[in-house]
Amino acid sequence: MCSRLPVAVRIAALLLVADGSRAEEIEPFKLTGVDGYVTLQYVQDEQTTDQPAAARSRQAQSGFRNEIFVMTHSYIYHPNLMPLDLGGGPILHSESFTGDTGAERARGALYNLTARATLLRDKPYTGAVFFSHLNPTVSVAPGQVLTQENTRYGFDFSLLAAASPVPVQAGFVRSHSQGRGADRLVDDRSDQFNLSASRSYGALGSTNVQYQTGHQASQSGSQNLPIQSSTASNHAVNVDTRLQFGDNRQYDLANLIGFTTQSYALGAGALPELKDGRFMLDLRARHSDKLHSHGSYNYGHSTQGDLDSVTQAASAGLSYWPMTGLETNLGVRGDNNQTRQFVAQSHGVDGSVRYEQPLPIGVGQVGYGVRYDSRAQQAQSSQTSILGERITLSGVATIALTHSHVVAGTPVVSNAGRTQIFVAGIDYLLTVVGNETRVQRLIGGRILDGESLLVDYAYDVGGTYAYNQIDQTLSLNWNLSRYANGYFRYFTSAPRLASGSPSFPLNDVRSSTYGLRADLPFNPGLAITIGGGIEFENRHETVSPYQRMADDLYIQTDEPLFGLGNLRASLRRSRIDYAVAAQNSDVRGYELRYWSRHWFGIDLTAAISAERDDAGLIPRHRSDGTIGVQWQERKFTLSSSLIRTREIQAGVERNRTTFQFLAKRDF
């Protein structure tokens, strides 16, 4: 058989054996292994929404999937010459969608297919081509699933150190994802190319250079809101150098250089192209066991339309441990920020000391820190803008935007692909607390629980002024044992205007925080732990003073109860009272969780939780219940889950129920 093989292939295969590869029979094709699985899956997802003065809205999705997948492993001529991994199989499915606008059904056959061919595996010059077409059922939010079709193909190539003084890796991937759920559409395309090269300097360190370019097109979003097509292109070059030198390798040097461009096209319009360049140099030294030092410099230049900023920052510091239990730190810093709207310079020093001392009962710790800043600003405009600040809204928790003093009416919230712009008061709520502007998801809207969003907004730069500020922090901590500790923190911030007249007041702060935490194990015939904590904070400040109280209590079993499973029950409360009652919050919640492992061969988890906030402008309530069961016997697995979620907010009630069942046999 071997005599009929092409001469070049026989020579390559013989070289693979001669250089130490394990001897295998050279054949045109050889199958080395087969594995796979058979599954039967059922999914039901139903959501109802009740709103004041509106009819009930309902979306439902259900479907069966029967899937067979077989993966083969083989090679051509030699296992290190061209290994092949080829797999796939049919999917028989039946799905139905029901919504306010009608019902649809879909049934038929889909398929999974995945293939990968690797050339010269385990050699310093190796590459692969791959293709996959998969149809998974994916979760896009708690209690919400959709069937998705993912097509992905590309190649990768590596030229490693043994064949090149500069190892190189390259790869290209093209992907397309489509899917539909009860109220969500997915249609995303992307091309991604990566090229990287590295240079090693032996024990001194290495440098890595990476180039990335990508193009994305999206038409994804909620079916209940208009969807516009968007495209995004990005290019990035990064150089990362890490060095370690000195007689005892006591010096660490890091240097990062990066340049990025990004552009968005939205329907018939476009956003200004973003160009961003960064340079960072960081040096750290260990002069002895008691003395360490560090220094860093950062430079950044970013332009996007009318926005143009240059930032420079430098800092240096020392850490010194003169005796056991005593730590001291000293630092200096300065920065300069220039934009078309304002120019600001600041410099300052800071220091801290921390001491730990064993006591007759437990261990005591005391710490003190002080920070001095001097800042001067010259403003050419009253405000500046932010494009594409990324936030994630989970549940109905509020997220504060990065910059304070946001100009009213300017925030625009869109999804991560910018295919949809959400509506304030319907999809999300904006609240102003002191200097902060906070974003909150509304349950009656189109924002998914846990969805990543982009926010564009303008903020007040503050005018032309200068001030000096001293911050001080005193902390006391008493560890009574490894099970309990008490603590106290006192913080003051005292800004003093030196010149000019800012457009907003400087914030003078005095804050006291104290609390107690305990986690106590008991064994009254069964090992359990009882724990909890309580914390109070009284914050006096110019802008938005408040009082805060938080406490929690839990009990859990540390070994199975009656040999069946473990339990955990918990209560919690967090209350914040502001000067304006509409800004208050009073969050109360509980959770009861049970889990067992291998009880009659079954793994079982069950949980019930609830949380409500009856204070503030919009009272809210949320409850969740989940049950999950799994049974496995050798290569056969049965699993099912039931998720029930209920949310009430501002007169809107949303209920979602999701049930999934899966039977799987591996072979």
DSSP letter at 167 equals -
Tokens 């005591």, located at residue = 364
Q: In Å, how far are 262, 279, 307, 414 from 301, measured between CA atoms? A: 14, 9, 11, 26
HEC states along 112-124? EEEEEEEECCCCC
User: For 153, what's the count of Cα atoms within 13 Å in the CB-facing half-sphere?
Assistant: 9
Residues 148, 132: contact at Cβ < 8 Å?
A: no
**Domain membership flag for residue 88:** no
Same domain membership, residue 568 and residue 433: no
Please state, in angstroms and rounded to a whole number, the distance separating the CA atoms of residues 450 and 431. 19
- The pLDDT confidence band at residue 8, using thresholds 50, 70 and 90, is low
Name the average pLDDT for the chain: 90
Question: Taking residues 235-250, what's their average pLDDT?
Answer: 95
Statement: residue 12 has pLDDT above 90: no
Same domain (yes/no): 492, 404: no
Amino acid identity of residue 660, one-letter, is Q
Let me know whether 560 and 629 are in one domain.
yes
Q: Work out the pLDDT band at 16, boundaries 50, 70, 90.
A: low
Does the residue 530 lie in any domain?
yes
Res. 25: pLDDT tops 90: no
Both 529 and 639 in a single domain?
yes
Q: Is residue 310 part of a domain?
A: no
Same domain, yes or no, for 542 and 522?
yes
Task: Give, for 17, the enclosing helix (H) or strand (E).
Answer: helix 7-18
pLDDT at residue 634, rounded to an integer: 86
The C-alpha atoms of residue 102 and residue 58 are separated, in whole angstroms, by 10
Q: Measure the CA angle with vertex 340, ends 339 and 343; round to 5°.
A: 50
- In the prediction, which pLDDT does 2 show? 44
Q: Does residue 517 sit in the same domain as residue 558?
A: yes
601 falls within a domain: yes
Q: Whole-prediction pTM value?
A: 0.84
* Model confidence band, residue 327 (pLDDT cutoffs 50, 70, 90): very high
Residues 487 and 546 in one domain: yes
Q: Say yes or no: 439 and 480 in one domain.
A: no
Choosing from 438, 460, 482, the residue where a domain stops is 460
* Closest CA relative to residue 89, chosen from 75, 65, 70: 70
Domain end point (choices 405, 426, 460):
460
Given a cut of 60, is residue 9 above it in pLDDT? no
Residue 166 lies in a domain: no
Q: Is the dihedral of CA 72, 78, 80, 82 positive or negative?
A: negative
In this structure, are 456 and 597 located in the same domain? Answer: no
Domain of 400? Answer: 383-460
pLDDT at residue 448 in the model: 87
Tell me the per-residue pLDDT of 169-185, one tens digit each, with 9 for 90 and over: 999 999 999 987 767 88
The pLDDT, as a whole number, for residue 238 is 98
**Which of residues 439, 460, 481 is at a domain's end?**
460
Residue 148: pLDDT band by 50, 70, 90 thresholds? confident
Domain count along the chain: 2
Backbone phi and psi for residue 416, each to the nearest 5 degrees, phi listed first: -65, -30
More confident site: 495 or 61: 495
Q: What is the pLDDT of residue 58?
A: 85
Asked, for residue 519, whether it belongs to a domain, the answer is yes
What percent of the chain shows pLDDT beyond 90?
Answer: 67
**pLDDT band at 599; cut points 50, 70, 90:** low
Helix (H) or strand (E) segment spanning residue 278: strand 274-286
CB 577 within 8 A of CB 586: no
Which candidate, 214, 150, 218, 152, places its Cα nearest to that of 187?
218
* 501 & 409 share domain: no
Tens of pLDDT, residues 74-110: 999 888 889 999 999 999 988 888 877 778 787 888 8
Q: What is the mean pLDDT of residues 469-492?
A: 96
- What mean pLDDT comes out for the span 618-641? 92
Give the lowest-confidence range in 196-200, 286-290, 365-369, 560-564.
Answer: 560-564
Q: What pLDDT is recorded for position 140?
A: 64
Q: Which residue has the higher pLDDT, 477 or 201?
A: 477
The answer as to whether 48 is a domain residue is no
The per-residue pLDDT for 551 is 97
- Does some domain include residue 481? yes
491 and 453 both lie in a single domain: no
Same domain assignment for residues 411 and 551 = no
Q: Which residue has the higher pLDDT, 269 or 583?
A: 583
